[in-house]
Amino acid sequence: MSRTGNADMQIGCPECDATIAASVPPGPGIHAESDSNQLLGTETQCGNCGHELELYYY
């Protein structure tokens, strides 16, 4: 099942412990009948220290 809107979340930066507002776009989801459930990713940067964060989702 796929989602219809971005999932907004708060994550912590592993470098400076700042809280970052991130958004993950909808993905195709995980389907039991499919052998090719593809993991997708996106990147964002910490607004405090500039550390690059990678977010992965289905």
What pLDDT, in 10s, does the model give residues 35-50? 777 888 989 999 999 9
17: left (phi over 0), alpha (psi -120 to 50) or beta: left
In a domain, 52, yes or no: yes
In a domain, 1, yes or no: no
In a domain, 37, yes or no: yes
The full length of the chain comes to: 58
In a domain, 2, yes or no: no
pLDDT at 40: 87
Number of domains in the chain: 1
**Coil, strand, or helix at residue 29?**
coil
Secondary element (H or E) of residue 42? strand 40-45
Looking at the whole model, is its pTM more than 0.75? no
pLDDT at 1 over 60: no
